[in-house]
């Protein structure tokens, strides 16, 4: 018998990576098991169904995001530094490793994933948008951000372009994603 160290956490880490690299329909319990050197059933012991595994990945990510934005190291930043921090999430350790964001990955396969997982994705996407919108409002009031229209719409545009930009980087290279981020900043600060 092979014991996995920190089994649940290790499996969640692998599943999160696989979701971002291969998509929900692009990986199997066998992938995770063989990489960890255990059998399929060992994964099912911790996460009986693939839906539960997917939900656990997103739920953990949601909790992590709330911890981040409520942490003084982010909360107390100026609006433009907050935005830089947010862009950094996508630049560091996403585009460099050929990953796309969880939300984009699961929304492309939305019509083929279990309902419970769909709900989790919806919640995460709303939370990301809410924080972006609040940050945009804060920055516009402080006179750092300049844009026309509703903060909610600007937030939707920014998040969508980051999501699509990571996917574009897959086919066209990471410098394309950098161009998107630079353009976002130009459109927001100039």
Partner DNA sequence: TGACAAACTTACTAACCAGTAAGTAAAATA
Partner DNA sequence: TATTTTACTTACTGGTTAGTAAGTTTGTCA
Site for DNA in 23-42 (CB under 7 A): 27-31, 37-42
d(CA 62, CA 56): 10
2 binds, among DNA, a second copy, none (CB under 5 to 8 A by kind): DNA
- Options 44, 59, 140, 170; binder of DNA; rule CB under 7 A: 44
Phi/psi at 101 (5° precision): -80, 155
The smaller minimum CB distance to DNA, of residues 39 and 170, is found at 39
Q: Pick from 89, 98, 83: which is nearest to 145 by CA? A: 83
Shortest distance, position 5 Cβ to a second copy, whole Å: 27
Whether the CB-CB separation of 54 and 24 falls below 8 Å is answered with yes
Q: Give 59: exposed, middle or buried? Use CB within 10 Å, 0-12, 13-18, 19+.
A: middle
Site for DNA in 46-65 (CB under 7 A): 46, 48-51
**Footprint of DNA (CB under 7 A):** 1-4, 7, 27-31, 37-42, 44-46, 48-51
């Amino acid at each position: 018998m092979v014991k996995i160290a920190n089994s649940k956490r290790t499996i969640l880490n692998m599943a999160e990576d696989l979701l971002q690299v291969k998509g929900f329909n692009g990986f199997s319990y066998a992938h995770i098991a063989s990489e960890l050197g255990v059998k399929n059933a060992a994964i099912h012991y911790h996460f009986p169904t693939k839906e539960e595994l997917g939900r656990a990945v997103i739920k953990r990510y949601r909790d992590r995001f709330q911890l981040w934005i409520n942490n003084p190291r982010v909360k107390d930043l100026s609006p433009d530094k907050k935005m830089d921090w947010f862009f950094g999430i996508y630049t560091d350790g996403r585009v460099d490793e050929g990953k796309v964001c969880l939300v984009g990955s699961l929304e492309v396969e939305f019509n083929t994933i279990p309902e419970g997982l769909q709900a989790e994705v919806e919640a995460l996407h709303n939370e990301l948008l809410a924080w972006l919108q609040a940050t945009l409002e804060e920055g516009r009031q402080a006179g750092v951000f300049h844009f026309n229209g509703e903060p909610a719409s600007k937030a939707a545009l920014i998040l969508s372009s980051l999501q699509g930009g990571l996917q574009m980087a897959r086919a066209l290279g990471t410098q394309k994603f950098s161009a998107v981020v630079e353009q976002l900043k130009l459109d927001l600060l100039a």
